[in-house]
Amino acid sequence: MTSMQSMAERLSALALLTLLCAPVSAEDTAFAGRWWLELAPDLVGVLELREAGGQIVGYVEGGPIDVEITGDRIVMLVDSRDVSMRQFNRRLTGKLTDGVMAGTFTTDQVEGAPAQPVPWRATRGGGVVATAGQAPTPVNFEGVWGRPAGKDLRKYRMDTTPLAEEYVANYNPDLDQPPMRCMLPGLVAQFGYPYFLEIMQRPERILFFSEAFGEVRQIYLDGRSPPEFFPNSADGFSTGHFEGETLVVETTHLKAGIRDYRGEPVSENARITERYTLLDDGQTLYGEMTIDDPENYRQPPLRRTARKRSTESILLPYECDPDSFFRQLYREGTFDEYLKRGRWRR
Amino acid sequence: MLSALRSLSSGVIVLLSALPAAAHHSFAEFDLTQTIEVHGVVEEVWFNNPHIHYYLSATAEDGSQVSWDIYGSAPNNLVRQGWTRDSVKAGDVVTMVGNPAKQGVPRISLVKVIFADGRTLQRE
């Protein structure tokens, strides 16, 4: 490293430090709160800006982003991934006007990304807004719901603890992912799975039938507690209640699992909150999941899903045979490695 | 890595990139920036969850037979597209188009099947 490079990096670090320590101004507080973020043409996400330790910090889908606010202008750097796990950044620049943020963004490191800046905006509300304290007015969620529609930002970086980072560093997606062995991946990982979902509902209980794995989730609405010695499992123990027309589901008793493909962990002490609501005159089932798991995340990751009502399909059977996975290990000579990885497998 | 793949089968041709539809496990093991073709005879059809597989015998440059693992989508997603257990049969002579595994092993993530008569099956 040359001395010039070193100096430049020190200056850059100093600028960042200055930015992070900048006092929060009245203009900054106008940015604080939850925003519904829309990136053209069809990406959506939840943005949260808040004051912490005298500075404004930002999160997208619960994962930290870099934020710079100057007067009524904002710059955000949002990291993402594609389906091949390639990471890249979107740089959003914009302005707050009459309670709406709007501007343009560019995308780096992606082949085929638009060369010209693309519009974005952020508005208050969107998704499931705060419903606590609203009188319950139960609605009927029954029906067959299609594969999750729409595209999310695939926010990559979460505010992980060293414990979580150690797990991810040792995780091998080729060998450790539960569904490859026909095992349920857990409530969190399965939230956005590309399979149909059917809901049946009674006053005291709601049943979620997932096409994937033929899984059945029971959500008790009668206020019961889990029985003594209730075993921890991939789906845990779920209770629900209505806040207004929003179904709020809280889950405990999970067994240790994963949040996503790359193996970000979910501990057995995690507490999962889901909020479901109907949109588009009952034709869209929208859900948000918050993962409170301080062992692994300093800030709860957020997941969202939107499914269109299906009137043409029923759930298809799901019979799973792990033969092809073990055959692959045999063919490619990785079976011994698989056997040694019990510590990381969930 | 691609040169290694080419050496595995004389029928391998590098094509353009294609991204898969949503899947329920990682596609990080495949190089989605590359697409290759593998030409051969279907040895076995494995149409089950969690993902379908076709095992394809292709001739390598040295004349030996290489068994390729053609890694497909989830059966239910394919069935809804009209793609069934019998769409590809053992003994069919086909060209499989897909994204190669990063590890340089004879395995691809299937994008399209091209039959001997020119018909195609394309993943959504």
Taking 3-state DSSP, the helix, strand and coil percentages for chain B, each rounded to the nearest 5, stand at 10, 40, 50
pLDDT higher than threshold 70 for residue A141:
yes
Distance from CA of A182 to the nearest CA of B (A): 7
How far, in Å, CA of B49 to CA of A185, rounded? 14
Contact A331 B69 (CB under 8 A): yes
Please state the domain extents for chain A: 3-123, 143-332
Contacts of B22 in chain A (CB under 8 A): 83, 147-148, 194
pLDDT, greater one: A36 or A12: A36
Strand B65-71 to B107-115 pairing? parallel
Instruction: Give the mean pLDDT of A268-291.
Output: 96
Mean pLDDT across the stretch A325-337?
94
Minimal CA–CA distance to A48: which of A33, A27, A67, A64? A33
Q: What are phi and psi of A299, to 5 degrees?
A: -125, 130
User: Does the pLDDT at position A193 exceed 70?
Assistant: yes
Type of residue found at A226: P
Residue B49 in contact with partner chain A when CB distance is under 8 A: yes
Query: Does A328 sit within 8 Å of B29, measured CB to CB?
Result: no
Helices (DSSP H) in B9-101: which residue ranges? 75-79
Q: Which of the four pLDDT bands, split at 50, 70 and 90, describes residue A1?
A: very low
Q: What is the largest CA-CA distance in chain A?
A: 70
Q: Residues with Cβ < 8 Å from B42, sequence gap 6 or more?
A: B54, B55, B56, B57, B88, B89, B90, B91, B92, B93, B94
Fold for the domain defined by A3-123: Lipocalin (2.40.128)
b/e sequence B15-45, b meaning 16+ C-beta within 10 Å: eeebebebbbbbbbbbbbebbbbbbbebeeb
The whole-number pLDDT of residue B26 equals: 63
CA distance A7 to chain B (A): 37
In angstroms, the separation between the Cα of residue B25 and the nearest Cα of chain A is 6
In A, which residues are within 8 Å of B110 by CB distance?
none
A–B CB contacts, 8 A cutoff, strictly below: 88
pLDDT higher than threshold 70 for residue A177: yes
Alpha carbon of B37: minimum distance to chain A alpha carbons (Å): 20
- Asked if residue A264 has pLDDT above 60, the reply is yes
**Chain B 13-42, residues with CB within 8 Å of chain A CB atoms:** 17, 19-33
pLDDT at A20: 41
3-state secondary structure chain A: CCHHHHHHHHHHHHHHHHHHCCCCCHHHHHHCEEEEEEECCCEEEEEEEEEECCEEEEEECCEEEEEEEECCEEEEEEEEECCCCCEEEEEEEEEEECCEEEEEEEECCCCCCCCCCEEEEEECCCCCCCCCCCCCCCCCCCEEEEEECCEECCECCCCECHHHHHHHHHCCHHHHCHHHHCCCCCHHHHCCCCCCEEEEECCCEEEEEECHHHCEEEEECCCCCCCCCCCCECCCEEEEEEECCEEEEEEECECCEECCCCCCEECCCCEEEEEEEEECCCCEEEEEEEEECCCCECCCCEEEEEEEEECCCCCCCCCECCHHHHHHHHHHCCHHHHHHCCCCCC
pLDDT < 50 regions, chain B: 1-11, 13-22
- Range name among A22-31, A45-54, A242-251 with the lowest pLDDT average: A22-31
Report whether pLDDT(A339) > 60.
yes
Q: How far is B110 from chain A (nearest CA, A)?
A: 15
Looking at residue B63, the DSSP 8-state letter turns out to be S
Q: Check residue B6 and report its DSSP letter.
A: H
Interchain proximity A194–B17, CB inside 8 Å: no
Q: Is the pLDDT of residue A250 over 80?
A: yes
Contact A195 B103 (CB under 8 A): no
Minimal CA–CA distance to A288: which of A131, A87, A178?
A: A131
Among partner residues A261, A319, A328, which is closest to B26 by beta-carbon distance? A261
Asked whether the beta carbons of B68 and A327 are under 8 A apart, the reply is: no
Neighbours of B13 (CB within 10 A): 14
Res A169: pLDDT: 94
Whole-number average pLDDT of chain A: 89
A83 vs A52: which has the higher pLDDT: A52
Residue A28: per-residue pLDDT: 65
pLDDT of residue B123: 79
Which of B8, B19, B26 should be substituted to probe chain A, the one whose Cβ sees the most A Cβ atoms within 10 Å? B26
| pLDDT (0 to 100) of residue A24 | 61
Q: Spelled out in words, what is the top-level CATH class assigned to the domain B2-122?
A: mainly beta
Residues in chain A within 8 Å Cβ distance of B76: 195-196, 211, 316, 318
> Which tokens hold the place of B36?
């290759």
List the single best residue of A168, A184, A262, A324 to mutate versus B (max B Cβ within 10 A): A324
Domain boundaries, chain B: 2-122
Of A95-109, A114-128, A192-206, the range with the lowest mean pLDDT is: A114-128
Q: Is the pLDDT of residue A124 over 90?
A: yes
Which of A185, A211, A324 is facing B46, going by the closest CB pair? A324
Nearest CB to A319: which of B30, B49, B79?
B49
Q: How far is A201 from chain B (nearest CA, A)?
A: 25
Average confidence (pLDDT) over A15-42 = 71
Nearest to A85 among B19, B20, B28 (CB): B28
